Amino acid sequence: MNIGAIFKGLATTFGFMLRRKATIDYPFVKRAHAPRFHGLHELRRYADGKERCIGCELCQIACPANAITVVGAENTPDDRKSPGERYAFRYEIDELRCIFCGMCEEACPTDAITLTPRFEMADYRRSAFIYDKTRLLVPAEAGVGQAADERPGGIPGDLGEVAREKSTVDPQKGYGATWRGGEILTSKGKTYMPTSAGGELLRGPRTRKGGE
Ligand code: SF4
Ligand code: SF4
């Protein structure tokens, strides 16, 4: 038996145990994106809650991947959804076609369609990647009027129940997580995901800060 080789192997093992890990504890910990990262879309509102989209279809025309479908309709005095004459009656993006180039964002005259840093869209069904208006439009109560990165936690998915709903991987319920991550709250060795209620416990005392 080569005792020297055993000690050499153990030294290598213990040496790596003391090194800083290259991996992170995903999905509980997520790395920050580059500032110009292009992720999942959202449709924004004005500060008064009206939809920014005026159904002009410029984003649909600009899209090189034919991923966007817009059908505009006329606002009425009794039901005004946007400040313009028209609003998007139907708005869909096929995220499987999308190449996340940002041309739609560039083309939009009202800054309605924007690309957020959200990237977690995995699902078992192709149909789950068709994001219609109900999934794209920022909830009326979700920090309207502010750019995505200026809202608490960054995106609509960070603003409470929406995050909980969208963080499911249950194939019956729908699409995968859209929570961006960012700051993970840690307290007394426990890790929390920021929520409107203050934080949901993700990991117990064994969790280390940053997961590393
Ligand atoms: S990011 Fe590019 S490919 Fe994706 S919907 Fe917008 S214009 Fe189309
Ligand atoms: S998102 Fe912008 S470019 Fe697209 S239809 Fe609405 S207002 Fe026009």
Residue 196 burial (C-beta neighbours within 10 Å; 0-12, 13-18, 19+): middle
| CB 136 less than 6 A from any atom of ligand 2 | no
Ligand 2, atom 2: closest residue by C-alpha: 108
Domain ranges of the chain: 33-181
Return the closest-CA partner of residue 194 out of 164, 150, 149.
164
pLDDT-derived band at 152 (thresholds 50, 70, 90) equals very low
Which CATH architecture best describes the domain 33-181? 2-Layer Sandwich (3.30)
Q: At 13, is the secondary structure helix, strand, or coil?
A: helix
List, in sequence order, every residue forming a beta bridge with 42; answer none if it has no partner: 114
Confidence (pLDDT) at 49: 79
Cα 136 to averaged position of ligand 1 atoms, centre (Å):
14
Tell me which residues have their CB closer than 6 angstroms to ligand 1: 62-65, 67-68, 93, 98-104
pTM over 0.85: no
pLDDT tens digit sequence for 80-97: 999 889 999 999 999 999
